[in-house]
Amino acid sequence: MSVLGITEKALDQYRKTVKYNHATTPDQVLLKMIRNVTLVKETHPSRVKKRLFYTEYAYGNLVIKVNRKKQVFKIFNKKDQEDEQVNWKFPKRRYIELNKELGIKDCKFSKNTYSKKKRS
């Protein structure tokens, strides 16, 4: 994986700007960053921009900046800028697969098998 850490500043930015993640643990946020960067690299390589000191990944509205040390150092949400969304198609199947592989606990698409009623 291409992300090894996340700075405190980026962690705070993520919790404040990404819906329903204000109480997400640092470990889970890091796993989500690994998932998001992986999805961009695999499915939308044109949305990866290499800069002199960092690489920028555009995951939907979310822009993730990773430095040379492979640390996420900046995250921002470009909610109101529709022009960037034109070439973004959400890879739902791969998203679910990576959630399982990485152990991300709060997947919005997976089914909870434990909630089914037991039949006698």
pLDDT tens digits in sequence order for the chain, 120 residues long? 577 899 999 999 999 998 888 999 999 999 999 999 999 999 999 999 999 999 999 998 899 999 999 999 999 988 766 555 567 888 999 999 999 999 998 877 765 533 344 444
Q: Tell whether 9 is covered by a domain.
A: yes
Q: Tell whether 91 is covered by a domain.
A: yes
Q: Tell whether 45 is covered by a domain.
A: yes
Q: 15: domain CATH number? A: 3.30.2310
Question: What domain range is 41 assigned to?
Answer: 5-104
Q: Tell whether 35 is covered by a domain.
A: yes
Q: Is the dihedral of CA 72, 33, 69, 85 positive or negative?
A: negative
Q: Tell whether 59 is covered by a domain.
A: yes
As for how many domains the chain has, the answer is 1
Q: Tell whether 116 is covered by a domain.
A: no
Cα-based distances in Å from 42 to 4, 58, 117: 18, 12, 38
Q: Tell whether 65 is covered by a domain.
A: yes
